[in-house]
């Protein structure tokens, strides 16, 4: 029972510290950078192809259920309606998508199930800032997460 309480208290403490900005180097504490020689180049290319394909469909007004390359949870969560809303919001802020550049891959130190986070910088027509797209692959090679965020050198 004490072990369970300690784990719960630890997770709550980490969440509070992260939320309050007390940990400046969250990525170094919570994530480990995958060495360049160990990066799964297939996942990098798969992420690029999937995102390019999705964005091309969205630009043509096609918002369809995502396929088997996504986990069942992502298939359910990334509905055509959500895709359309997201696309419209992204396009209104950044303009047209022009491509993405791979930056790094990270693995979580403590979280289970483990996966690998692939970080890319996106290029858009209306801004010189390059927002980050995170594509998370689970241990089975399926996409289990997608995030579009302002770029920060340290992942948060």
What was the pLDDT predicted at 11? Answer: 44
Q: Which residues contact 54 (CB under 8 A, 6 or more apart)?
A: 66, 83
Does 84 fall in a domain?
yes
Does 90 fall in a domain?
yes
| pTM for the whole structure | 0.77
- Tokens representing 43 are 């996942």
The whole-number mean pLDDT for each consecutive block of 10 residues of the chain, a chain of 156 residues, reads: 46 39 48 91 96 94 96 95 94 91 88 81 88 92 91 79
What was the pLDDT predicted at 126? Answer: 87
Does 18 fall in a domain?
no
Does 134 fall in a domain?
yes
Query: How many domains are there within the chain?
Result: 1
User: What's the rounded Cα separation, in Å, for the pair 144 and 152?
Assistant: 21
Q: Give me the domain span that covers residue 49.
A: 27-149
Element (H, E) at 104: strand 97-108
Does 17 fall in a domain?
no
Closest C-alpha to 105, from 124, 94, 120: 120
CATH number for the domain spanning 128: value is 3.10.450.590
């Amino acid at each position: 029972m004490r072990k369970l309480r300690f784990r719960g208290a630890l997770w709550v403490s980490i969440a509070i510290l992260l939320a309050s900005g007390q940990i400046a180097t969250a990525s170094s504490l919570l994530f480990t950078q995958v060495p360049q020689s160990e990066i799964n180049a297939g996942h990098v290319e798969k992420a690029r192809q999937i995102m390019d394909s999705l964005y091309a469909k969205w630009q043509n007004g096609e918002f369809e259920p995502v396929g088997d390359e996504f986990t069942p949870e992502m298939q359910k969560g990334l509905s055509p309606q959500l895709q359309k809303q997201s696309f419209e919001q992204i396009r209104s802020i950044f303009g047209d998508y022009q491509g993405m550049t791979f930056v790094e891959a990270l693995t979580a130190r403590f979280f289970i199930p483990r996966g690998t986070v692939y970080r890319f910088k996106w290029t858009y027509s209306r801004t010189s800032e390059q927002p980050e797209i995170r594509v998370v692959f689970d241990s089975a090679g399926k996409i289990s997460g997608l995030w579009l965020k302002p770029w920060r050198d340290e992942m948060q």
